[in-house]
Structure 1
Amino acid sequence: AFRLCLGAAFDDAGLRPGVPDACTYTVVETIPEGVTFSSGYPRHLATYDAWTELINVSTAEIKIASFYWTLSANLTAYPSAVLGAQIYHHLLHAGTNRSIDIKITQNAPSRKFPNIDSQLLAAKGAVHVRSLNLTRLGHEGILHSKFWTVDGRHAYIGSANMDWRSLAQVKEVGVLIKNCSRIVRDLEKIFEVYWEMADENSTLPTTWPTNLSTTINSMTPAHFNLNGTSTLSYIASAPPFLTTAGRTEDIDAILDVITKAKEFVYVAVMNYLPLDYYSKTRRFWSVIDDALRRAAIENGVRVRLLVSKWSKTKPVMWNFVESLASLNTTNISIEVKAMMIPAFTEEQRKTPYARVNHQKMMITDKAAYIGTSNWEPNYFIKTTGVGLVLNQNSSDSIRGELKAIFERDWNSNFTYYVKPGHRRKLH
């Protein structure tokens, strides 16, 4: 049975709909160790500093939704893991010495991802941990979301895992949200779904409790002044079977942002694959691919797609992105580039699952989207994820900052154009 006890803090009542909320959003980024860009681009708050700030400002509770936990590593072999170790100790101190109530919902541990760090934190009484097993609930997929909430007022949403490599060896992008209770309390509702479904006695309800529903979505976004700019924003969610009433689904948010673009659509994502790759019966899933092609062909929008090339890239991805790139002609603007993050030191070369552009974001002339999912069908149909959408017209905004990040990466020495029949070897 579905058991839930939520306080009034989760109700939309009393949040004065239509009255702008005074919020601060800060772009957060991890630049892999040794990577430098040409001058002229602003530096952004480091992921490590954003997480440290969230821990330090907490007064009552921290909630973390995470795929897995690998903050610690052998510091002799991997000196850059020190940042992950420090986050681990910050959380340990907050949960024990400061009596902060820390709740973690993670994907069910496996041989590949044993989640030892969260297990140790729980054993020391610093955190409460629940593991979400979607298979037990009758579904495939994993918990792949990556977000924090603090005291119902502050949050982080982005591509960074609870992994020391996400703080030092992997390129990540996210947003730090401060003093924005309406959006953060709405994000907490998604966490609460994970938390309750991770209870070992839970079952999927036929109808979700009304206090987990939302009125903040693509049709009625929250309105607030963001760093002085009027902003419309909402949080989307996947998969459909964990999405409560009123919530925009993650894939629908992405399609809405693409469809409403008038001038350009810039996408940076690690994996782009319109194919149900992991299922026994492979299925073509062209929802996003069709939207990008239609935007370029029918609406005259300039489309740029930046994907990642690294040791784990599926070779079949190149067939699909080369197909997109082949449409780039005089009257159709679709460009595709791949980004490779080189290793400069022995530590970097021997670090597994690192040296990759891991971000999941999209910027248009109207909006910005920061997500936690790769652009493959399973991430929207079977796996948990969230996406933050911000509609802003001003170029002097978060949207403008994310656009500058994309253009910096696109024009950097770490990228090359993807063209049919011309495939590069990895480094």
Structure 2
Amino acid sequence: MPLSHSSPDSNSECKAWLVQSIPTDMPHLSRVPGVLSTADVFRWLAGNSSKRLDILAQYWQLVAGSDDPRSGDYGYSKTDMLRFGANEGFGVYKAIENAADRNVSIRFLQHSGVYPDYTEEPSNLASGRPNVKNVTLLLSEWWGSGIVHAKVWISDHRDVYIGSANNDWKSLTQVKEVGIYLVGCPTVANKVEVYYDNLWKLASLNVSAYTKTIWDQQWQVTRKVPCWSHFIPSKERCRSPLPYFVEVPHVAGYPVLSDPYMFQMPIQTPGLNYSTLQPQSNYLSFAPPELLFGKYQADEQAWVDTIKSAGVGETVRINTMDWLGQSQYLTQTVYWSSLSSAISEVLFSKHAKVKILVAYWTHYINGTDQYLKSLLYSNALCSSSKYNKCSGQIEIRYYVVPGFNLTGPAIQNGTRTGNAYPGYSRVNHGKYVVSNVRAHIGTSNLIWDYFYTTSGVSFGTFHPGIVLQLQEIFDADWNSPYTVPVEPLEEGHAYSS
């Protein structure tokens, strides 16, 4: 079965823009020229679709619910909602609805959604429209935990959005998001479609016939996995029912690929002063690994490789909402050091500077600070011995969007709450890493579950202009008054002699 809908030279006009959402009421955050807004990109993807539109989402809340007592938007006035930018979400919803009414073939695939709407919006869009298909996929039935978490749009097999923005009006104007918009790039779009098709197929399979509970030797836990997983000994695996899959005999788990597939193609960047028609190396990575195909790398490897791509004395910039050196949702806790080890390695061997931005917000995860402090301790280890020729440094800051502690409904149980912004808003939600030579833009938080039980998609590139602009986005956040340093562990002596 061919993976491409296009001729080999059809990527000659491939264009890319970086995409942001910036919350309202952040006047001291510098804007980066040439970066598009998420709301515009979503409207364009739907509005420009003539044949096909695929949307992969965690949940939908594009239409605000200020009249619904169950909603985190409840109780805010029409003036408030207009000031918050809720109309942007309605505009995206209408653009999708218009595409459906133009008889565009549309597929929605998502997790079960969130309270109180769940899957109401995609269900309404599919209702009475045979050209619109709507599927809910529960990855926890396959992996014991995990959700559909990727945020991907694919239009007409050519145009793609990959990034952190959910199908939620707040993701357009009340949450800090980062993504990439690729236009006229059928080769990339078609490979993302393969991943989408694998998820679509998964939703139609009998879970009990295709899952096993196993002892995972790599992660030292008992857990549920698809029966074709490489975490199962080769003689006990089933053949994958997915259209495209990886089959490597005599391998336990999913080892690092020595030469993961790269798209060698030029990408035009109209939003940048930088211009080159030279072919650049670009790639896609996916999670969880059981959904990999061909020579595409697991998302964890792509994050690690990007960190390790840093040159001697150069800087690595990492942005995430959540960071934990462990699992979050698995019954047995997994210890996970993949990213922290990569960071410490470039600190020691390459004298790299590593800057990390982590969100601090209403739903901040307890335990985050301890893991961040343990990572900062690498600075002390770096200079701990006269034998160490180590001059690298790790800096970590919390990104604090103003108003994060005043979020939720304006009215609850008939009483004014004093909240100033809707629930689940006012947070830095982007997920990316950029070295001096490589940019990686993804959909996953930096916690074990997001790489091994949760769906995720990333786009990466060595394009110098995209690398530079992503650095500028990070630096604008880092240098803003909205960040607070994470303090290192207090130094002391373990014993005295």
Q: TM-score, normalised by structure 2?
A: 0.76
Q: Is structure 2 residue 265 aligned with structure 1 residue 197?
A: no
**Number of residues paired by the alignment?**
408
Q: Match for 1:297: what amino acid?
A: F
Q: Deviations over 1:20-66 (max 9, x none)?
A: 74310001100001212355742521100011111121110000111
- Conservation of the 8 A alpha-carbon contact between 1:239 and 1:382: yes
Q: Is structure 2 residue 12 aligned with structure 1 residue 51?
A: no
Quote the Cα distance in structure 1 between the aligned partners of 2:4 and 2:303.
26
Q: What is the match of residue 220 of structure 1?
A: 261
- Conservation of the 8 A alpha-carbon contact between 1:74 and 1:81: no
Structure 1 residues 210, 251: CA separation in 2 closer, same or farther (over 3 Å shift)? Answer: same
Structure 1 residues 309, 208: CA separation in 2 closer, same or farther (over 3 Å shift)? Answer: same
- Conservation of the 8 A alpha-carbon contact between 2:56 and 2:151: yes
Q: What is the match of residue 246 of structure 1?
A: 295
Q: Match for 1:264: what amino acid?
A: T
Q: Is structure 2 residue 424 aligned with structure 1 residue 353?
A: yes
Quote the Cα distance in structure 1 between the aligned partners of 2:180 and 2:258.
19
Q: Is structure 2 residue 472 aligned with structure 1 residue 404?
A: yes
Query: Aligned match of 1:15 in 8, 33, 38?
Result: 8
Q: TM-score, normalised by structure 1?
A: 0.88
Query: Aligned match of 2:112 in 92, 108, 120?
Result: 108
* 1:6-405 superposed matches below 5 A: 8=2, 10-11=3-4, 15=8, 21-37=12-28, 41-42=32-33, 44-74=35-65, 77=76, 78-79=81-82, 80-96=85-101, 98-109=102-113, 111=115, 114-125=118-129, 127-137=132-142, 139-199=144-204, 201=206, 203=210, 206-208=238-240, 212=244, 219-227=260-268, 228-229=275-276, 230-262=279-311, 263-328=314-379, 331-343=391-403, 349-392=420-463, 394=464, 397-405=465-473
Structure 1 residues 319, 23: CA separation in 2 closer, same or farther (over 3 Å shift)? Answer: same
Quote the Cα distance in structure 1 between the aligned partners of 2:203 and 2:242.
19
Query: Aligned match of 2:481 in 409, 413, 416?
Result: 413
Structure 1 residues 226, 339: CA separation in 2 closer, same or farther (over 3 Å shift)? Answer: same
**Farther off after superposition, 333-342 or 68-77:** 68-77
TM-superposed deviation, 1:155: 0.5
Quote the Cα distance in structure 1 between the aligned partners of 2:439 and 2:448.
21
TM-superposed deviation, 1:122: 1.4
Quote the Cα distance in structure 2 between the aligned partners of 1:132 and 1:231.
35
- Conservation of the 8 A alpha-carbon contact between 1:326 and 1:419: no
**Farther off after superposition, 29-38 or 98-107:** 29-38
Quote the Cα distance in structure 1 between the aligned partners of 2:157 and 2:45.
12
Structure 1 residues 409, 173: CA separation in 2 closer, same or farther (over 3 Å shift)? Answer: same
- Conservation of the 8 A alpha-carbon contact between 1:234 and 1:389: yes
**Farther off after superposition, 233-242 or 128-137:** 128-137
- Conservation of the 8 A alpha-carbon contact between 1:171 and 1:358: yes
Quote the Cα distance in structure 1 between the aligned partners of 2:258 and 2:53.
24
Quote the Cα distance in structure 2 between the aligned partners of 1:302 and 1:417.
15
- Conservation of the 8 A alpha-carbon contact between 1:218 and 1:253: no
Quote the Cα distance in structure 2 between the aligned partners of 1:66 and 1:176.
16
SS in 2 for 1:33: coil
**Coordinate RMSD, CA, aligned:** 2.7
Structure 1 residues 217, 195: CA separation in 2 closer, same or farther (over 3 Å shift)? Answer: farther
* Seq. identity, %: 28
SS in 1 for 2:141: coil
TM-superposed deviation, 1:94: 0.9
Q: What is the match of residue 425 of structure 1?
A: none
Q: Match for 1:101: what amino acid?
A: S
Long gaps (5+) in structure 2: 68-75, 211-225, 229-237, 247-256, 269-274, 384-390, 411-418, 491-497
Structure 1 residues 210, 72: CA separation in 2 closer, same or farther (over 3 Å shift)? Answer: closer
Structure 1 residues 284, 81: CA separation in 2 closer, same or farther (over 3 Å shift)? Answer: same
Q: Match for 2:104: what amino acid?
A: I
- Conservation of the 8 A alpha-carbon contact between 1:213 and 1:246: no
TM-superposed deviation, 1:350: 3.7
Q: What is the match of residue 414 of structure 2?
A: none
- Conservation of the 8 A alpha-carbon contact between 2:321 and 2:358: yes
TM-superposed deviation, 1:134: 2.1
